[in-house]
Amino acid sequence: MSRGPELIITEKDNAARRIAAILSGESAEAERMNGVNVYKWGGKRCIGLSGHVVGVDFPPEYNDWRDVEPVELIDAPIDKHPTQENIVAALRRLARKAGNVVIATDYDREGELIGKEAYELVREVNEDVNVDRVRFSSITKREVTEAFENRDDLDFDLAAAGEARQVIDLVWGAALTRFLSLSARQLGNDFISVGRVQGPTLKLIVDREREIDAFDPEDYWELFADLEKDDESFEARFFYLDEDDNEAERVWDEASAMEAFETLQTKSTATVTSVNRRTRTDTPPAPFNTTQFIRAAGSIGYSAQRAMSIAEDLYTAGYITYPRTDNTHYPEDLDPRELLDSFTGTRDFGDDAESLLEQEDIEPTAGEKETTDHPPIHPTGELPSASDLSEDEYEVYELVVRRFFATVAEAAKWEHLRVVADVAGLSLKANGKRLVKEGYHAVYPYFSSSESFVPDVEEGEELAVTDTSIEAKQTQPPRRYGQSRLIETMEQMGIGTKATRHDVIQKLYDRGYIESDPPKPTRLARAVVTAGEDFADLIVSEEMTAQLEEDMLAIADGTANYEDVTNESREMLEQVFEGLMEHSDELGSQLKKSLKADKTLGPCPDCGEDLLIRKSRHGSYFVGCDGYPDCTYTLPLPSTGKPLILDEECEEHELHEVKMLAGRKTFTHGCPQCKADEADEQEDEVIGACPDCGEEHGGELAIKQLRSGSRLVGCTRYPDCDYSLPLPRRGEIEVTDEECEEHGLPHLVVTSGDDDDEPWELGCPICNYREYQARQAGGSELESIQGIGEKTAEKLKEAGIEDVPGLKDSDPDDIAAKVSGVGADTVRKWQASAD
């Protein structure tokens, strides 16, 4: 009897393609089955999943949030169902005929679970087929071949550990999210979420904000002196020994600071009392894991989300390795010389690669963590040409290349020179540093290598004191977490994963818990964290993950089982709910109060109630009174962007200022009342005849200031004639004597009020608007959306999407089908951020 083909199942298409190429000796051919790639050669088939293709959820009868008490979710049944129908269908078709199955998903816990999900789908249609498991940590010929020669079995205990995590996350997350949302009557889009990872992440941000709020600044003074030797001047700083004999520079008492300063001022020389020289080795950085990559990209201006999205594109295009990894050890069979060699002769990297190849020994650095999932992020050696990548993509690609260079470069050496001098019993110190061996800095310019100069001096030498100064300072509150610091801290706390941490931060933005960058928590966030601390401490604590990790280890090594762990977790949640239900009302009113505080601008001038930011039926924002319908006072807001209430308050109206968040077009609107008043006071300035209705009805064009803060050239017969041309929001608009020959309108000039800025010769407003529209039609408007670079905009244009309205009106699936490498979800994200 002839056996069917062998079926190899990987976690993603990319891995399937590469494994098929290796095992087939490049002879595998791709076929489409249900829209899914199947690689085929000899008696083999290889298919890539898309991570989890089945999901866990409650049965449909639990869907209605109002019908089901949240507490009921704790013991509700949980189903598994296919979430990627086409892939599951293709897998079933292939499995039916398979003579042997090999699970080749990623070599980590989640990979084992994804493998088990595939195994179960296979078993549904093929009861008897043999199923093997292979494990490898990088898709190289040697590792893959070896893995297929040493086949193993699926580790069902490890997969069960992952299943326990799924269930516990779902039950806690769903039950608590529904409870909080219901208690504050926040259903629909604005529900109030909590979860094992977002909870502690949010608490981290809120705790820091609490520290900032509680911070009480202290005054202190610092003293400096300029010392000089042979016309070479350098700065030295006053210090003293505190009660613990530690060096201190801050003087906490004004009188002693002034006394020391006066002493310094009276003296013209300082005596060198000690000179210390030492050399320090500055070792090159470790290979990139996801967190360190995000951090480095952050330091050159990319948000975590943007950095990962670009890395994903570079990976899909084949230029860099898989961007989601914890590993900081290069695989053994990565040959640094071979990889360096692929860069020789290139314009941007050739010289550096060649100089690195001249080293006798090349020993790459390694970080602390070594894992089995994927290699650290490094260039593949396949080189993009400049036109293949957008500017941003190239910048990130260069970062990855240079990081690889740095990890195979030599250490740098610094010479430190520390000089201590005495002035009338007062100590001054200066620290100089010189880069004596450039080492990896030569190929990796992202770390500072700036030097500070201190001349060669000797003990006992007299130096001239040429200047002295005193600075009054205050201690500063701790800084807010930036996105990459947040991700690093999450990693240290052990919450989230390399693939999800940046998404979690995005989720906190989406839920209205944080705003701005670095993220600042809203009142709602504080209320949610406080509610968690009071009634469900685990959900805002990193302990929950630590405990879960411990339980998962136990399940994986067979000392605990899935049933016991999930049951125990459910019992704990029951306890939590007892406290919650008892305090449901006060909890709800606290949350409602904070939700309102997040929207409050200040007192209504008509009735004294609160003015709130509201959303109209058409989806635009405006300022309305909480006393509505008794009070109908309103103020308009600009039509672009999402309003953010700033801490700054207008003194005249006691209203908070408003900023409009709109990506690169973000701007500060200020006090909406002031803006409206300005518009009311501003007379319209007539500049010519209206081209639409001038002849027929005598309409005229005028420069108008609207109450929403925007300005335009519009017809005086508005609303009977709605002809209008846009004007910039900022700057003084001057009407010149020069006239446009074509339209008969005067040229306009915009001055910023800042003398350093060149005035903007806007010219004839009609010509200006035409040019603006032409630029838009060039497709560049699309690039204003996050995630769309030059290259993507080009692809969209080819698919017939010319501008933002065109993008918004299109069907995401339709675009995804036409544009390679773009999924429907991505399109939806673009559409959302275009609003």
Partner DNA sequence: GCAAGGTC
User: Does 509 interact with DNA (rule: CB under 7 A)?
Assistant: no
For DNA, the binding residues in 585-614 under the rule CB under 7 A are none
Q: 59: cis peptide before it, omega within 30°? A: no
**Is the Cβ of residue 65 or residue 414 nearer to DNA in the bound state?**
65
Helix (H) or strand (E) holding 40: strand 36-41
- Out of 265, 316, 620, 831, the residue judged to bind DNA by CB under 7 A: 316
Q: In the bound complex, what is the minimum distance in angstroms from residue 570's beta carbon to DNA?
A: 14
Between the alpha carbon of residue 178 and those of residues 228, 510, 577, the distances in Å are: 69, 17, 12
Residue 444 is which amino acid? Y
**C-alpha to C-alpha distance for 68 and 293, rounded to whole angstroms:** 44
Using rule CB under 7 A, residue 472 touches DNA:
no
Residue 505 touches DNA, criterion: CB under 7 A? no
Omega cis (within 30) before 765:
no
Q: Does 19 bind DNA (CB under 7 A)?
A: no
Residue 482: closest CA among 192, 833, 208? 208
* CB 5, min distance to DNA, A: 23
Return the residue matching tokens 């089908």: 817
Q: Which CB atom, from 12 or from 642, has the smaller least distance to DNA? A: 12
- Total number of residues binding DNA (CB under 7 A)? 59
CA distance 777 to 790: 14
Cβ at position 191, least distance to DNA in Å: 5
Tell me which residues in 102-121 interact with DNA (CB under 7 A). Answer: 106, 108, 110, 114
Q: Is the dihedral of CA 777, 780, 786, 791 positive or negative?
A: positive
Q: From CA 543, how far away is CA 662, in angstroms rounded?
A: 37
Cβ neighbour number for residue 322 with a 10 Å cutoff: 21
Report the residue number, 312 or 354, with the smaller CB distance to DNA: 312
Single residue of 19, 170, 660, 807 touching DNA by CB under 7 A: 170
Residue count (the chain)? 835
Closest listed residue to residue 378, CA positions, set 316, 330, 333, 306: 330
Residue with tokens 């269930």: 167
Select from 137, 321, 328, 497 the one that contacts DNA (CB under 7 A). Answer: 497
Comparing CB distances to DNA, the nearer of 550 and 720 is 550
Gap between the Cα atoms of 811 and 818, Å rounded: 11
Position 173 contacts DNA (CB under 7 A)? yes
Task: Indicate the Cα dihedral angle 615, 620, 625, 630, nearest 10°.
Answer: -80
CB of 661 to DNA, least distance (A): 21
Site for DNA contains 304 (CB under 7 A)? no
Give the residue numbers marked as catalytic. Answer: 322
How many other C-beta atoms are found inside a 10 Å radius of the C-beta of residue 583? 14
355 binds DNA (CB under 7 A): no
- Return the ∠ at Cα 386 (arms to 385 and 387), rounded to 5°: 95
**Among positions 25, 26, 32, 66, the unique one binding DNA when judged by CB under 7 A:** 66
Structure tokens given for 751: 């001055």
Q: Does 165 bind DNA (CB under 7 A)?
A: yes
Binding mask 178-207 for DNA (x = CB under 7 A): x--x-----xx--x-xxxxxxx--------
The bridge status of strand 642-649 relative to strand 656-661 is: antiparallel
Q: Given the rule CB under 7 A, which of 164-172, 235-243, 457-465, 738-746 is the region that contacts DNA?
A: 164-172
User: Least CB distance from residue 56 to DNA, whole Å?
Assistant: 5
Binding map of DNA across residues 774-803, x = CB under 7 A, - = no contact: ------------------------------
| Site membership for DNA, residue 826 (CB under 7 A) | yes
Q: What are the tokens at 142? A: 């040697």
Residue 763 found at the interface with DNA (CB under 7 A): no
Minimum CB distance to DNA, residue 827 (Å)? 10
Q: Is 84 in the site for DNA (CB under 7 A)?
A: yes
Q: What residue type is assigned to position 169 of the chain?
A: D
Residue 825 touches DNA, criterion: CB under 7 A: yes
Dist. CA 114–CA 98, nearest whole Å: 19
User: Which tokens go with 419?
Assistant: 């000089």
**Shortest distance, CB of residue 195 to DNA, whole angstroms?**
2
Which position among 116, 507, 704, 795 is part of the footprint of DNA (CB under 7 A)?
507
Which phi and psi angles does 123 have, rounded to 5°? -60, -35
Q: Decide whether 53 or 701 has the Cβ nearer to DNA.
A: 53
Token pair belonging to 405: 């260079």
CB of 134 to DNA, least distance (A): 16
Contacts with DNA in 659-698 (CB under 7 A)?
Answer: none
Nearest one of 694, 701, 642 to 667, comparing CA atoms: 642
Distance of closest approach, residue 496 Cβ to DNA, in angstroms: 4
One-letter amino acid of 305: Q
Binding mask 45-64 for DNA (x = CB under 7 A): ---x-xxxx-xxxx---xxx
Structural tokens at position 637: 């807001």
823 lies in the site for DNA, by CB under 7 A: yes
| CA pair distance 363, 284, nearest whole angstrom | 11
Minimum Å distance from CB 189 to DNA? 8
Give the residue with the Cβ less far from DNA, 323 or 636: 323
Binding mask 403-432 for DNA (x = CB under 7 A): ------------------------------
User: DSSP string of 113-157?
Assistant: HHHHHHHHHHHHH-SS-EEEE---SS--HHHHHHHHHS-B---HH
The helix or strand, by DSSP H or E, that contains position 210, with its residue range, turns out to be helix 198-214
Residues interacting with DNA, by CB under 7 A?
11-14, 48, 50-53, 55-58, 62-66, 73, 83-84, 106, 108, 110, 114, 165-166, 169-170, 173-174, 177-178, 181, 187-188, 191, 193-199, 312, 316, 324, 495-500, 503-504, 507, 823, 825-826
